[in-house]
Amino acid sequence: MKTLTAPAPPPAPTGPAEVVLTLEHIAKSFGDNHVLRDFSLDLHRGENVVVLGKSGSGKSVLVKCIIGLLRPDAGRITVLGQDISTLDHEAMDQLRAKLGFLFQSNALYDSMTVRENLLFPLRRQWLADRRGKEKELVQQALEDVGLGDTAEKMPAELSGGQRKRIALARTLILQPEIILYDEPTTGLDPITAREISGLIREVQQKYQTAAFIISHDMDSVRLVADRVALLADGRCYAQGTYAELAKHEDPRVHDFFI
C-alpha cells in the first residue's frame, strides 16, 4: 500500500464495454421477510459499480446470490455469459475461480496462518499457470495490501483493519475478473479506508477487473464508483454517476449524499 499514490480520477468513459454480470428481476425472501423483490442491474468489464442501501436492505443477500451462496427465488443471474442456476457444482467452482468475493465479516480461516489463508484458494483452484509460483504470489498479494511482514501471524493476532486487508489480499490473489466487495471499508479509520479505496481503483486499472462494491461509506463511494445504484424496497431504486445521484431530487436518494 505504501506504493499507492492518491486515487486516480475515474477513467474517461469510452465505448460500451462487454457486459460481465447481469442481474434480472432478482427476488429473494426469508419466510415473510421479502428482502429482494425485483432487482436488475448490469455490470460492464472494467467498471466499478457501487450499490448503496440502508443497513438490512439486503445488500449482502444480493452479493451472496451472485456468488451462489444463496439461491434467488426468482430472476436470472448471468456471470461471464453463464446463467448460474444452470451450472452444476464443478462448473460453478470453475466460474468461482474467476470471481472474487470479499466477505463483510472477512471470514478468515482462524485455524490457519495468514500465509495458509492466502494459499488456500490458490491450492484449491486448479490453475496450472500459477503452479510453483505460490510463494511469490502470496508475498506479492501481501505487499499489495501493505502487510508484507504478517505472513506467519494468525488472524487473531491482527487488528480489525489488518484483517480486512488480509481478506482483501485473499480475494485478489486469484486475480479474478469480477470482484464482489461487501463493505470493504466499513469499520476502518478514514486513512486506511482511503487506502483501500485507492487499492480498489488500482486493481481495476491494472487488471481491467469489474467490481461490484457494496458500501455506505460515501467518501469511498466518491473515490471508487463509476456508477452508483441504490437498493431500496428490494429494487434498484435509482442509478447513475455519483454526481447525478448527488443532485437527485428524491429525498431517499439525496439523503445518502448529505
Partner 1 sequence: MFKSPFLAETGAIAQFTGRFFREGFRPRYEVREFLYQCFVVGYQSLPMVGITGFIMGLVLTLQSRPTMAQFGAESWIPTMVGLTIIREMGPIITALIFAGKIGSSIGAELGSMRVTEQIDAMEVSGTNPFKYLVVTRVLATTLMLPLLTVLADAIGLYASYVGINTRGVTTLALFINNILSGLTFADVLPAFFKTFFFGFAVGIVGCYKGYYANKGTAGVGAAANSAVVVSSLLIFIIDLLAVQITGLLGLN
**Count of chain residues binding ligand ATP (CB under 6 A):** 12
45: left (phi over 0), alpha (psi -120 to 50) or beta: beta
Q: Among 3-11, 54-62, 83-91, 250-258, which window interacts with Mg ion (CB under 5 A)?
A: 54-62
Residue at shortest CB range from ligand ATP: 60
Shortest spacing between CB 137 and ligand ATP, in angstroms:
30
Torsion of CA 164, 167, 168, 174, to 10 degrees: 180
| Complex with ligand ATP: residue 146 or 163, whichever CB lies closer | 163
User: Considering only 64-72, 99-107, 187-195, 240-248, which stretch makes contact with Mg ion by CB under 5 A?
Assistant: 99-107
Nearest approach, Cβ of residue 149 and ligand ATP (Å): 31
Q: How far is CA 232 from the centre of its chain?
A: 19
| Residue-wise DSSP of 77-94 | EEETTEEGGG--HHHHHH
Q: Measured at the alpha carbon of residue 207, what is the angle toward residues 83 and 95, in degrees to the nearest 5?
A: 25
Task: Considering the complex, state which of residue 46 and residue 100 has its C-beta at the smaller distance from ligand ATP.
Answer: 100
97 binds partner 1 (CB under 8 A): yes
Q: Does 89 bind partner 1 (CB under 8 A)?
A: yes
Give the burial string for 178-199 (b: 16+ CB within 10 Å, else e).
Answer: bbbbbbbbeebeeebbbbbbbb
In DSSP notation, 211-255 reads EEEE---HHHHHHH-SEEEEEETTEEEEEE-HHHHHT--SHHHHG
Range in contact with partner 1 (rule: CB under 8 A) among 25-33, 100-108, 212-220, 229-237:
100-108
103/227 Cα distance (integer angstroms): 21
Closest CA to 61 of 90, 88, 31, 30: 30
Alpha-carbon distance of 252 to 232, in angstroms, equals 9
Q: Tell me if 149 sits within 8 A of 179, measured CB to CB.
A: no
Among 48, 60, 192, 197, binds Mg ion (CB under 5 A): 60
Supply the minimum distance, in Å, between the C-beta of residue 214 and Mg ion. 7
Q: Does 33 bind partner 1 (CB under 8 A)?
A: no
The window from 27-35, 46-54, 91-99, 201-209 that contacts partner 1 (CB under 8 A) reads 91-99
- Given candidates 24, 93, 134, 202, which one binds partner 1 under the rule CB under 8 A? 93
- Site residues (CB under 8 A) for partner 1? 64, 67-69, 89, 93-94, 96-97, 99, 101, 103, 105, 107-111, 120-121, 124-125
- Site residues (CB under 5 A) for Mg ion? 60, 104
